Structure 1
Amino acid sequence: MPAANDNPLGTYLKDRRTKLDPAAFGIELTRRRTPGLRREEVAQRANVSATWYTWLEQGRGGAPSADVLERIARALMLTDVEREHLFLLGLGRPPDVRYQASEGVSPRLQRVLDALAFSPAVVKTATWDIVAWNRAAAAVLTDYGALPPSQRNALRMVFCDPRVRAAQPDWEHAARFVVGAFRVDVARAGASSQVAELVDELSALSPEFVALWRDNDVRAHGEGVKHLRHPIVGSIAFEYSNFAVDGRPDLSLVIYNPATPADVALVRSLTETRAVALG
């Protein structure tokens, strides 16, 4: 049985360092006794002392700062998941989120959505832009494909789309929840500056939004029950769940599962009717 590793951070740093190709960094391939980059080469790339970096690998350097770990992560060309692991080993917590604009979803994730025939499902960004949806969502929630991409923001739709507002049996309660959950997601993603324009726009358009935004309420958006008032079939109840998309911290998957067999039948009717209309 292998002995316990009492220096997991140093072991991980050495492993990542020895897996790098010196030629990729323009380093002359002189005779080397060990593969990968040397400790002093990593230290130089990270702009830290070679002695201190050596101590860090040896478990003698003390706790590194987040800034130093960021520089080491860049020096070692770590992927996002490798960078997160480095922070967990070095600081016992993941790194601060670096907001990145979404580039859409993979075909595989879209196939997951499409497999949910009668459960409306959407993928949204940290700033609540809807970037993917399934046929049930288009039939029951909103036909997102008929909207320009700039208008597919769930927060904007709650305050600016009369159809979305009419679908809420208790719009004020729903709007308060959405604003609170939106605030949490944006803060967690470090995207406050990215949504400043949207907040300004909604503040100019909706006094109700201004009042709710100033309240500074925060809400969890994990799971719950949602009721919708559909203009064709009437009231539909859903149990919703919000899931993180592994490897894509910028995205979350929201699934609305019909709460009863009667609700399933209503969603099925709307989905099949829309499919026939589209040919």
Structure 2
Amino acid sequence: MYSKAPLVELGEFLKVCRARLSPRTVGLPESGAPRRVKGLRREEVARLAGLSTDCYARLERGRVPVSRPVLARLVRVLHLDDAERDHLFALAAQGDCLPRRRPAQKVQPQLERLLDELPATPALVLGRHMDILAWNPLAAALFTDFHRVPEKGRNYARLLFTEAAFRDLYLDWSTVARSCVAQLRLLAAQCPEEPGLTALVGELSVADADFRRWWAGRHLVGLRVGTKRLRHPLVGDLTLDWDSLTCSADPTQQLVILTAERGTPSHDGLRLLASWTADPYEPERDVTA
């Protein structure tokens, strides 16, 4: 059974990419006359990609599948970057992805053990749909006490858009939130009709106007590393570099770690926060032994 939903999403993505380009960008002459549509016209994209206008119009309407050679030409014509290219190809490949409800995801044991070995580094494990599967004490001290969040609510995107304290933690919340929406968009391309992700997107679209606008905009970032600027209520401003490591046993699980450069106020702030989360009953190690 072939699903048309990814083709519709692919068509909408093509429209967004077409709208952001000007004739000058792709080497076409500009007449100076007012244009009825923002960006390039369908017939201009079709001509540059070597397609008939009718064929390209059907692609944008999500009515026909598209071959890899045609996709490659559209990537070139629409000036897509690597993340956008991957997204376009993922959408084209998922026409046969049927809706399926997966069992609740559990953190991989090796990742859970690794969390225990990182007492001075905030770390958490994100699963499919950005669900928070596990965390260490310093991550809880930095973000929130995840134990107090109902299990079904432990989702990074949900907390970012619906919890005021989580939102207030970020000095550049809009940048972080837009990147989060872009990551969800990339996940959705892998299987657009998966019920869990569809429900999450629907919930956040109803709950937050910014999410609605950014989701409709189809902005892609595709970050796996970066910097977060936080204002923690106990230790003040922190600038933390983050990275994500994919689990080999389950590629849908990622270990996210946050660090600060040694000798900086942010590093001192993390050490102070770590000292407050240390187990008071754990015996000190004899470093001279």
Range into which the TM-score falls when normalised by the shorter chain: 0.5 to 0.7
Select 1:268's aligned residue among 271, 274, 278. 271
Equivalent pair of 1:117/1:136 in contact (CA under 8 Å): yes
- How many Å separate the matches in 1 of 2:196 and 2:157? 14
List per-residue Cα deviations over 1:170-190 (Å, max 9, x = no partner): 211111111111211332366
- Give the structure-1-normalised TM-score: 0.60
Aligned to 1:212: 214
Q: Tell me: CA distance 1:189–1:250, structure 2 relative to 1, closer, same or farther (3 Å).
A: farther
- How many Å separate the matches in 1 of 2:214 and 2:261? 29
Question: What pairs up with 1:217-228 in 2 under 5 angstroms?
Answer: 217-228=219-230
Aligned to 2:124: 122
- How many Å separate the matches in 2 of 1:277 and 1:186? 44
Quote the offset at 1:251 in angstroms. 0.9
- How many Å separate the matches in 2 of 1:189 and 1:267? 38
Quote the offset at 1:265 in angstroms. 2.1
Quote the offset at 1:246 in angstroms. 0.4
Equivalent pair of 1:123/1:132 in contact (CA under 8 Å): yes
- How many Å separate the matches in 1 of 2:255 and 2:217? 27
Select between 151-160 and 181-190 the one with higher mean Cα deviation: 181-190
Aligned to 2:42: none
Aligned to 2:166: 164
Equivalent pair of 2:111/2:255 in contact (CA under 8 Å): no
List per-residue Cα deviations over 1:118-153 (Å, max 9, x = no partner): 211111112010001111101112211121111111
Equivalent pair of 1:224/1:241 in contact (CA under 8 Å): yes
- How many Å separate the matches in 2 of 1:276 and 1:247? 31
- How many Å separate the matches in 2 of 1:189 and 1:271? 39
- How many Å separate the matches in 2 of 1:189 and 1:206? 23
- How many Å separate the matches in 2 of 1:246 and 1:255? 17
Q: Relative contact order (alpha carbons < 8 A, sep ≥ 6): 1 or 2 greater? A: 2
**Pairwise CA RMSD:** 2.6
Quote the offset at 1:208 in angstroms. 1.4
List per-residue Cα deviations over 1:39-65 (Å, max 9, x = no partner): xxxxxxxxxxxxxxxxxxxxxxxxxxx
The one-letter amino acid of 1:153's match is N
Quote the offset at 1:110 in angstroms. 1.0
The one-letter amino acid of 2:166's match is V
Select 1:251's aligned residue among 253, 256, 260. 253
- Give the structure-2-normalised TM-score: 0.58
- How many Å separate the matches in 2 of 1:278 and 1:191? 49
Quote the offset at 1:192 in angstroms. 4.1
Equivalent pair of 1:225/1:240 in contact (CA under 8 Å): yes
For residue 111 of structure 1, give the secondary structure of its aligned residue in structure 2: helix
- How many Å separate the matches in 2 of 1:246 and 1:168? 31
Aligned to 2:201: 199
Q: Tell me: CA distance 1:107–1:143, structure 2 relative to 1, closer, same or farther (3 Å).
A: same
- How many Å separate the matches in 1 of 2:250 and 2:213? 33
Equivalent pair of 2:125/2:132 in contact (CA under 8 Å): yes
The one-letter amino acid of 1:144's match is F
- How many Å separate the matches in 2 of 1:189 and 1:259? 38
Q: Tell me: CA distance 1:227–1:259, structure 2 relative to 1, closer, same or farther (3 Å).
A: farther
Identity of aligned residues (%): 30
Equivalent pair of 2:101/2:195 in contact (CA under 8 Å): no
Aligned to 1:184: 186
Q: Which of these two proteins has the greater Rg computed from alpha carbons? A: 1
Q: Are 2:180 and 1:151 aligned? A: no
Aligned to 2:142: 140
Equivalent pair of 1:169/1:227 in contact (CA under 8 Å): yes
Quote the offset at 1:157 in angstroms. 0.7
